[in-house]
Structure formats: C-alpha cells, structure tokens
C-alpha cells in the first residue's frame, strides 16, 4: 500500500493530541524539548532537521524518517540536500539501513508530490 502523507499527518496529529490529553507533565516536557531543540539557533532549522533525518535513519525509525523528510521539505531543503543527508546516514548506519532508505525515498516522493484529491463517499 503506498504511503499517503495526508493520512499519516492526520494520524500523527490525532495521536499527539491524545498523548498530550493524558496531561502528564513529563510527556509534555519531553514534547516541548523536542520542539525547542529543532528551533533556529546557532544552526538553522533546516540543518537541524537534516541532522534529525540522519539520526532517525541510523536508529531505523521509519515514522521518524517520514517526519524529518516532511520537516526538511517544510524548512526548504531540496531533494538533493535530503539525498546527501540520506547518503551520510547510509554510510554511518550501514547496509541495515537500506530498507529505511527505501521508505525515506518513498516519503520524499510522496511529500513532494502535489496533494491528491480525495474521492467523496457519496
């Protein structure tokens, strides 16, 4: 089944809302830290997202890879910049990251494609 960026974004938003509704201070603090660390500082946000993408590839987290591919594009990274970051991840992570590399390119293609129109369910 092909990766659907809109379904994935909707699910992620819904589940993050559910997680945060548990009103746990530690979870909320971690989510806030995660947001803060990627904000512009000495490094711009695009560079930080590319770094997050490399780390996610090496850690073999497909959901994280998709998230960072999406964020890289949002921060203005080109397909070539993302590809170079993925090449670094491949060298650091080794051949075990190849399945995740496939899914990273699938996500890159899906996020870069124009949004699909949904069929109405009439």
Is the pLDDT at 2 greater than 70? The verdict is yes
Q: Where are the alpha helices (DSSP H) in the chain?
A: 5-21, 25-37, 45-59, 62-74, 79-93, 98-112
pTM of the predicted structure, to 2 decimals: 0.89
Pairs from 92-96 (Cβ < 8 Å, separation ≥ 24): 92/54, 92/58, 93/57, 93/58, 93/60, 96/60
C-alpha–C-alpha distance, residues 32 and 59, integer Å? 21
- Residue 113: pLDDT band with limits 50, 70, 90: confident
Q: Report, as an integer, the average pLDDT of 93-115.
A: 94
Positive or negative, the Cα torsion across 96, 102, 103, 107?
Answer: positive
What pLDDT does 49 receive? 98
pLDDT in tens, 44-101: 999 999 999 999 999 999 999 999 999 999 999 999 999 999 999 999 999 999 999 9
């Amino acid at each position: 089944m092909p990766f659907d960026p809109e379904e994935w974004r909707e699910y992620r938003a819904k589940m993050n809302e559910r997680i945060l509704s548990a009103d746990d201070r530690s979870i909320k603090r971690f989510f806030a830290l995660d947001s803060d660390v990627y904000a512009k500082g000495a490094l711009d946000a695009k560079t930080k997202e590319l770094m997050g993408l490399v780390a996610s590839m090496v850690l073999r987290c497909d959901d994280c890879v998709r998230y960072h591919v999406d964020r890289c594009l949002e921060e203005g990274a080109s397909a070539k910049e993302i590809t170079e970051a993925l090449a670094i991840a491949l060298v650091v992570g080794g051949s075990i990251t190849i399945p995740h590399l496939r899914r990273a390119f699938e996500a890159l293609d899906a996020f870069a494609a124009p949004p699909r129109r949904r069929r109405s369910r009439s």
